[in-house]
Amino acid sequence: MMVGRKVTESILGKDIISEGVSEEVAAIISAALMHVPFDGWSNDALSAGAVDAGIEPERVSACFPAGPVDAIVAYIAMADADMVSAFEAFEDKPEKVHLMIRSLVLIRLEQASAHKEAVRRALTVLALPTNAGQSARTLYRTVDSMWRAAGQQDTDFSFYTKRATLAAVYSATLLAWMADTSSDMAATEAFLDRRLRDVARIPQMTGPARSIFAAGQKLAEGIVGGVGPRAGR
């Protein structure tokens, strides 16, 4: 891997709290991850996590009023914050935007490797039609975090096109990672590199070709639907 170093531990700090995830919620989720492979993203897993974290299990319903899907959304927000924190800790960050994006995607997947089954089960829950809105919003926030970490603060028409393009790359790479049984993510890394070559203009999206822009806009509608302009930022 060429992302500087492996980071697999959760970072529970101000970056996570700033994403709207309280210390209590983060503690329950972090402890519940060992139960999710057996109980799924369920109230049982969350209650067990609460007990492990020294929190009254009755707090689960208050922390996650919409049930396990709330826990999944919070878990993804924690992962977004962990990814950005790890990237910002690099002393020698890549200078080119597409290499920054590459590093961010690989960091995200490296961090998730310790809880791959929990990620698989989370994706299954988010794939349910009733959770389509939450799925779109979490994907949007993840790719938005990546672009912002890479220093891309555009507010012109390319804002959504960039995020739509990266969402397609990240989603495809995430599925490739789920199927990757190698110990070093070599297959995933190769897949990501191919996808980035397919969209080699990813750093210059301020002036994309008309056809690329149109395709990006169409995809963006599905990704950011219900999120609102600039995701509230």
How confident is the model at residue 9, as a pLDDT?
37
CA–CA separation, 181 vs 176, rounded Å? 10
Q: What percent of the chain has pLDDT over 70?
A: 76
How confident is the model at residue 233, as a pLDDT?
41
pLDDT in tens, 1-16: 444 333 333 333 334 4
Q: Which of 78, 96, 219, 230 is nearest to 161 (CA)?
A: 219
Question: pTM for the whole thing?
Answer: 0.80
pLDDT at 82 over 70: yes
Please answer whether residues 224 and 140 qualify as being in contact, where contact means their C-beta atoms are separated by less than 8 angstroms: yes
pLDDT in tens, 114-172: 999 999 999 999 999 999 999 999 999 999 999 999 987 776 667 788 888 899 999 99
